A and B are shown apart, each in its own frame.
Chain A
Amino acid sequence: MSTAPIRTAPESESGKGAASIGKSVTVKGQIFSREDLIVDGEIEGAIELNDHRLTVGPNGRVRAGIKAREIVVLGTIDGNVEALDKIDIRKDAKLVGDIKTARIIIEDGAYFKGSIDIVKNEQPKPAQPRPQAAAATATYAPVPNSAVK
């Protein structure tokens, strides 16, 4: 059991594949990961994988707030969840908490209690070239001498 924040090495250092927390492991605390993470044990605290995928396996039990790019749920989550790209809740999963995500997939049979907010990620538009400013040349056109009667 660990109470200190757990930080996983970036994918380039640790090689291919995801980090994993086995089903006999219990972690209480914060987890920050710079690679995909598979959880089959018990987590209590907070999990943050901003650019990566979190998979809560069928034996996984997470009582934590979660923030990740993508979340796949086959086990149990009790906590609020933010998936920047997508959350996928499978049929035997159980999720209690509020969800904020761009996309959601829910299989029939999944148990969910909470709110769902869809937040579309707007891709930043490429900068458009500014139109050339018109040359500021002042011209003076004499006003026709309209006859005033």
Chain B
Amino acid sequence: MDELDLLKKDWQSDDSRNETKLSVKEIYPMMHKKSSSIVKTLFYISIAELLFWLVLNLYPYFASDKYREELAVMYGNSTMLLALSILSSLVIVVFVFLLFKSYKSISVTDSAKKLMENILNTRKIIKYYVIYSLVMAFVSVIIGIYYTLYHNPEVSKQFAEFSDKQMFVATTLMVLFTLVFILVFWLFYRIIYGILLKRLNRNYNELKKLEV
């Protein structure tokens, strides 16, 4: 007899084995408990990320008048700053829409493979959002450094005493520092998602391997 058939016989004959048979009364409260599913965690992380970058984007408008003026000087005029903020807010709206659509497509009644694909797709949207935010952060820091060095009267005066070589070293260091900072951020994201989706990725790859 095939081993699995022996197991099947036992498996199907043991309907009464469950010593933990739950009553209707015990099931009721279970239905309304909070889910701790991967999708829910992913949802909270994406909301946190959207809010984090949104607050960072809007920061200049909540900051002091003086800081806003300084920023306006740096960017040449405040219209430029406003345009940039509107653009980034628009990008956020697009990402929120895509995320919403993606979350709606996740259904526990799909096949296992389809369900995994939809979750991984949602994760991809969050990933693109994070990449976009990090690139934007990097670009704005670089623009910030450039304008501070060349357009901020006080800072330019100090740097004017620097030789070309010193200036080059200082700029390179600042860029490198920003780059490292951004990379650390990226690594942090990778670790969070890596831990969260490790099992899902493994199972998805196992299913995909079958189709090759």
A and B: interacting chains = no
| Interface set of B (CB-CB < 8 Å, partner A) | none
| Interface set of A (CB-CB < 8 Å, partner B) | none
